[in-house]
């Protein structure tokens, strides 16, 4: 798929990630810092996304990290799942690129097994980049002085060993076993969206997480990764399920397809996949 073949929903996801990202980058250079900046950014980006979706897709339901969960969405056929700022702490620091804007669309299929994410975008506003479901990245230059110099989330590679990104504050207990299984190196990075984008962009090879997440943390990243041919599953290898009543979705593996068996096998050997 290319930009020319995006569906209207897929284009909308990209456009929303761009617009929210520009708002957040501009806000980042306007004065507030730290937690105050994160709180303001979350609120303003959430308001923007909800307003745009209400105007563009008034009949669709929305699940947002920053809004009350209306469980009527569980019976809806189309649900947008959004995280206005994924990696709020990194966003508030002012000089970090590893935060993201998540926009995804879940659609119900005739059979429950056919319900899936049909549109997704992960914006990396500090880098001026949006990754969608096609291979054509969208470049949306940062506005104001809130961007970060440099074009990547990670330093350039210095060797051929696979890089496995993970949370710095909540690394999985099986992380060392996974690194050994694939002969790789563990690299801490913020934001589920940024970590998935690092894999999709070729800066890393896998992302592992078991420290707790919610549907809005992984919907857009998983939608982008799956559409581009990467593996995105739970740590026991089961599919990620969205638009269910319980928003808690605590674990995630995103990786190159050729690494999936080794990674999931190492997790199973550690006894971490049983829940």
CATH number of the structural domain spanning residue 211: 3.40.190.80
- One domain, residues 199 and 235: yes
Is the distance from CB of 241 to CB of 252 less than 8 angstroms?
no
Is the distance from CB of 140 to CB of 18 less than 8 angstroms?
yes
- One domain, residues 11 and 125: yes
Calpha distance 80→82 (Å, rounded): 6
- One domain, residues 195 and 91: no
Tokens of 60: 């669709």
Tokens of 26: 């501009």
- One domain, residues 128 and 63: yes
User: Which of 106, 139, 172 is a domain's end point?
Assistant: 139
Residue 148 located in a structural domain: no
Q: What is the Cβ-side half-sphere exposure of residue 241, based on CA atoms within 13 angstroms?
A: 9
Residue 175 located in a structural domain: yes
Q: What is the pLDDT of residue 5?
A: 84
Residue 154 located in a structural domain: no
User: Which of 123, 139, 155 is a domain's end point?
Assistant: 139
Instruction: Give φ, ψ of 193 to 5 degrees.
Output: -65, -45
Total structural domains in the chain?
Answer: 2
Domain interval for residue 62: 3-139
Residue 155 located in a structural domain: no
Burial state string for 198-234 with b = 16 or more CB within 10 A and e = fewer than 16: bbbbebbbbbbbbeebbbbbbbbbbbbbbbbebbbbb
- Tens digit of each residue's pLDDT, the chain (275 residues): 566 789 999 999 999 999 999 999 999 888 788 999 999 999 999 999 999 999 999 999 999 999 999 999 999 999 999 999 999 999 999 889 999 999 999 999 977 777 999 999 999 999 999 999 987 778 766 545 455 555 789 999 888 999 999 998 889 999 999 999 999 999 999 999 999 999 999 999 999 999 899 999 999 999 999 999 999 999 999 999 999 999 999 999 999 999 999 999 999 998 765 54
For 1, other C-beta atoms within 10 Å of its C-beta total 14
Residues 179-187: contacts with CB within 8 Å, 24+ apart?
A: 180/266, 181/262, 181/263, 181/265, 181/266, 182/206, 182/259, 182/262, 182/263, 182/266, 185/161, 187/154, 187/163
Burial class (CB in 10 A: 0-12, 13-18, 19+), 167: buried
- One domain, residues 121 and 176: no
Q: What is the pLDDT of residue 1?
A: 58
Q: What is the pLDDT of residue 273?
A: 59
Residue 240 located in a structural domain: yes
Q: Indicate the DSSP class of residue 80.
A: E
Q: What is the pLDDT of residue 2?
A: 63
Residue 177 located in a structural domain: yes
- One domain, residues 122 and 169: no
Q: What is the pLDDT of residue 145?
A: 46
- One domain, residues 170 and 92: no
- One domain, residues 127 and 216: no
Q: What is the CATH number of the domain that holds 79?
A: 3.30.540.10
- One domain, residues 99 and 198: no
Residue 150 located in a structural domain: no
């Amino acid at each position: 798929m290319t930009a020319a073949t995006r569906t209207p929903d897929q284009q909308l996801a990209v456009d929303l990630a761009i617009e929210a990202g520009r708002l957040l980058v501009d806000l980042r250079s306007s004065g507030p810092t730290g937690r105050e900046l994160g709180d303001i950014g979350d609120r303003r980006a959430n308001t923007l996304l909800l307003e745009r979706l209400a105007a563009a897709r008034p009949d669709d339901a929305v699940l947002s990290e920053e809004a009350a969960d209306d469980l009527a969405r569980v019976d809806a056929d189309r649900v947008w799942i959004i995280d206005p700022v994924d990696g709020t702490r990194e966003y508030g620091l002012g000089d970090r690129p590893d935060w993201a804007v998540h926009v995804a669309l879940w659609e119900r299929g005739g059979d429950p097994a056919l319900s899936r994410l049909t549109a997704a975008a992960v914006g990396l506003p500090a880098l001026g980049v949006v990754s969608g479901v096609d291979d054509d990245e969208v470049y949306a230059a940062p506005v104001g002085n809130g961007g970060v110099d440099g074009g990547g989330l990670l330093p350039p590679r210095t060797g051929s060993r696979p890089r496995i990104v993970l949370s710095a504050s909540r690394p999985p207990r099986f992380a060392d076993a996974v690194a050994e299984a694939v002969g790789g190196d563990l690299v801490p990075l913020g934001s589920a969206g940024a970590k998935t984008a690092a894999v999709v962009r070729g800066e890393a090879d896998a992302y592992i997480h078991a420290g707790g997440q919610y549907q809005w943390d992984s919907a857009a990243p998983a939608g982008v990764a799956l559409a581009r041919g990467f593996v995105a599953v739970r740590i026991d290898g089961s599919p990620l399920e969205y638009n269910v009543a319980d928003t808690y979705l605590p674990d995630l593996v995103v990786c190159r397809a050729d690494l999936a068996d080794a990674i999931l096998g190492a997790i199973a050997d550690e006894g971490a996949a049983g829940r």
